[in-house]
Chain A
Amino acid sequence: MKKFLLSLMFSSILFAQQSKEFTPSALKAMGAPNNPKVEVAWNRYYDTKQLYEIMKRIEKAYPQLVKVKSIGKSVEGKEMWQMTISNFKNGDPNKKPAMYIDGNIHSNEIQGAEVVLYTAWYVTELYDEVEWIKNLLDEKTLYVVPTINPDARDYFIYKANNPHSPRSGMAQRDDDGDGEFDEDGYDDLDGDGNVVFMRIKDPNGRWNVDPSDSRLMVQTNSGEKGNYTLLGWEGIDNDGDGSVNEDNPGFYDPNRDWAWNWAPRYIQSGSDRFPFTFPENRSIRNFFLQHTNIAAAQSFHNNGGMILRGPGSKTDEGSYSRQDVQTYNFLGELGEQQLPGYKYMIIWKDLYTVYGGEVEWFYGGRGILSFTNELWSEFDYFRRPMDSTRDVSSQDLYRFDRLLLFREGIVPWKKYQHPQYGEIEIGGIKKQWTRTAPSFMIEDMCHRNMAFTLFHLFHTPKVAVDSIIVKNLPGGLKEVTAIISNERVIPTHTFQDVKHQITRPDWVSLSGGKVIAGGILENRFLGNMKEQKVTPGRLNVENIPGLGTVAVRWIVEGGSSYTVKIDSEKGGTAERKSK
């Protein structure tokens, strides 16, 4: 048998060698597959079609680990492709503790999709090589959706945009209240594929050329005249209302469209009709309601190097109990070690107030611990210690462009005859960087962020029946005491879940005898039992704390060997037989 396998391996290597026109690498660099079945270049960004092709290639290479399906359609009718990743031969993936990961809810924040897809690629490629990964996929499930805003991802890639647009999805909105929809967006006036800045020579202007880089504009000091006025992003007054670029596609913020602490526009700009107005978010909502095994969630944004948790607003501080904050802190502080330059932060306190954000619903509405990472830390430019994640100056950006990008990242000023402004100049930073990582740093960003999420998944609850003690009682009855445990940091129910009874309790059942009575021990050493009169053979346990135990006891008639089984929606299942 061994011989046969060896020969099979040998022949497949031969086959691989025949089909390639180069010699595979012999020395494996740590942290990646050496000769992956699915070759993917992690130094570039992909459109939605290419993302889908990579997903399908991974699925084809690892059919026992990956299933790709659509969970819904976007505003423009694109499929929302989702991957389920787990060892399918080791139990139903929908019954294992799971983590959900998505990216790209803000369409211009595109690299979330690459981070998510890298994760899918890495864990499948390394499944057979790294025991830690194998154990993870044997026990747990990853649900990943690389882009949850496919329409606007492609719009960002293919149409006139700057690093900050469109952010929204592609449903049409009347931004300026004139009764017309998306009638005046950016225009790539010179047709070079970039939307950059417009400036006009103006002896009364407030802007000057920076002495360190002639491409950079700086504001004049007070009391000093400048040579230029900046006219905003490249565009014209398309609808003749006297304003330029005032009604771009979209307008809304898909990350203000979630049910927890949702607020209307006059409180939260970017919110729309009601929670889950948009079909992309509604599909994810449905996915969560259908998959109560999801015990962890992660969303990827850019930028700034942040590991963010809720609450999104001060008013919601009360929802975050001490117990859950401890768990958050454990994971967040772990993340700070894995992600140099990233800070673990609270959304409302350390960033800004958000009502109706995605991860707030995961936690507040569904009781699931979840983070948002703001990918690409400004630390990464020159890797020097900073007080804040956001203190990189414009001069630094332009210096980075000169020293490491060899001036590729910035469009130099050039003259343009504008139909409304007259003679102007166009120039500035291209959309492909500053918020997204430059090519040579993408893989680093993907791997480190993946490592953070894999530890989050690792720490989703794992239940076990630790021990069973059987004692004889007078009259031939037996007292069966079982210790059930959770081997990981995240509880089977967060405090938010227990408080609002979001998912069912864990069930601990006994078979092998007739249960007369049963209950939970309030103190496993003293043994006071709190009886559960209804269905004593299947006890309801509200929660098994992280790295904690719960003791249960039954009074049983008959039988000699008993099986105790635990069935937890978020913690999986386990059983043990008494001696």
Chain B
Amino acid sequence: MNRLLMGLKRHKLLSLAAVAIVVVVSVAIFAPFVAPYSPDVQFPNGISDMGSPLPPNHTFPLGTDLLGRDLLSRMIYGARTSLIVGVVANFIAVFIGTSLGLVAGFSRGILGNAIMRFTDLMLAFPALILAIALAAILRPSLWIVILVIALVNWTWVCRVIYTQTTALIEREYIEAVRSLGASPMRIMVRHLIPHLVPTIIVWGTLGIATAVQLEATLSFLGVGVQPPTPSWGNIIFENQSYFSTAPWLVLAPGFAIIVLALSFNVIGDALREMVDPTRKGRT
């Protein structure tokens, strides 16, 4: 009975997370139709007589920002940025991590060792610091941010895939296809990758949460997506100084970041439990 209740609760959280992701994705795709205004228009009536941002009201549902732009519209377009960066950066990271981990685990020897030592080396850098250093020398833009996030996030995927590959190639069926004369390429693509797909999906989901947060943090520090292109992180960066008088400018995008990252984490975690039944009910 207790178990059932727990399952239901879990389900509720999962469906909430799924709904949140669907909402953010559709809002991002249909931004021009959903957003009440353009994200870049500075409304003369969007600024109070004192020159400060307006609190939420009938014309501007979430209020306006420091330049008199509609916050809701900026956040809707910002969802595009956050999702594009999160999904694309993580896709690249998972691709790099999987390829390197697979090759390292399959070939072992000098090549495999070299790859894994390099991975350890990259893991020695704190992700945020390395990302800042990279962004600082490369002049930030949307694509640079995506690249930088991918470059600091592939290491974990590589470690996990490597460990799994080394376990897989000990199996008898691999020995069988090898003795049948299959080429290394064929073994990797046809016989190893299908077994790694669940892991790739789990990391593909959990990694989006990390990438979304990293983008927001870089943008908040001013080395991420550059204004006027809105992103949830740089909305906070731009409006930080109005925080005491206009807290909604920081709280609304902050809440959005947490909800999106939380949703991907909840779903990724549930997927991990499905993939790895030994962990069910624990941790």
Tell me whether A and B are bound partners: no
Chain B residues in contact with chain A, CB under 8 A? none
Chain A residues in contact with chain B, CB under 8 A? none
